[in-house]
Structure 1
């Protein structure tokens, strides 16, 4: 993986405690094994210490969104997940999919009106609340999430 960048936050490959790059078929059954492996590696490397719940929940939501919305549950398509961590900058997770993308500003708030009672539609909200920095690239087909 080449030097991942996140706005003001650049990760130097020589300083990484963790670097992982995986592709998974767009099948919800693939999410838990990938999340488990990433979180095990993060714990062993000492990444996001004390913040594992936030990272795991955001990662799970981002992967689920990529499988559902980016790939339309088409298991012949792939979702890519890249993770890097260094102790000075934190843990950066990038999830990308081959979909058409979306405008995050157009997503309605789960806290307003009838959305309060829906049984879905809170993933982006949760990710934004749990991670320190979140932004979208490549027309909304890639999410960058940073936990310091």
Structure 2
């Protein structure tokens, strides 16, 4: 994990403490070990009780998007994940990939018309529904997800 990503985690509110950070090869098989590490942290934080499912599902979607869309399934590329938290401001999860980025506003609505029957395209929609606050930075190469 670069100091730049950790600094971004910490600078969101100024009071976050980075609790977990990892850089890993863009391989779908890496998702579960990363999620397991984050969820271990979540289970240790009493204020996240009852929010585990939402956090896990959003993180899985964000990591999959970074690997599939940002890194184009190239295991030679790296994905970064940083988790920072404090009791007052909740949890901030940052996932970053080296891809070209994207504009989330340009994505089709996954629950409208023919999109309902598509076999993909629901990840961003789910993340936005599961987390309390979602922002995109670095031209869409970085997603910041907050859970209070």
TM-score (norm 2): 0.91
Residue 66 of structure 1 contacts residue 96 of structure 1 at CA under 8 Å; is this kept in 2?
A: yes
Cα distance in 1, alignment partners of residues 52 and 77 from structure 2: 28
Aligned to 1:58: 58
Deviations 1:36-95 (A, max 9, x none): 111012212335221010000000000000000000000000000000111110010000
1:76 aligned counterpart, secondary structure: coil
User: For the aligned residues, what is the CA RMSD?
Assistant: 1.3
Matched, 1:106 2:115: no
How many residues matched? 142
Gaps of 5+ in 2: 1-5
Question: Which has the larger share of helix?
Answer: 2
1:93 aligned counterpart, secondary structure: strand
| 4+ long deviations beyond 4 Å | none
Match of 2:10 among 4, 18, 29: 4
Aligned to 2:27: 27
Cα distance in 2, alignment partners of residues 11 and 72 from structure 1: 34
Gaps of 5+ in 1: none
Deviations 1:3-44 (A, max 9, x none): 5233xxx0425xx4x611101110000000110111012212
Aligned to 1:37: 37
2:126 aligned counterpart, secondary structure: helix
Residue 70 of structure 1 contacts residue 141 of structure 1 at CA under 8 Å; is this kept in 2?
A: yes
TM-score (norm 1): 0.91
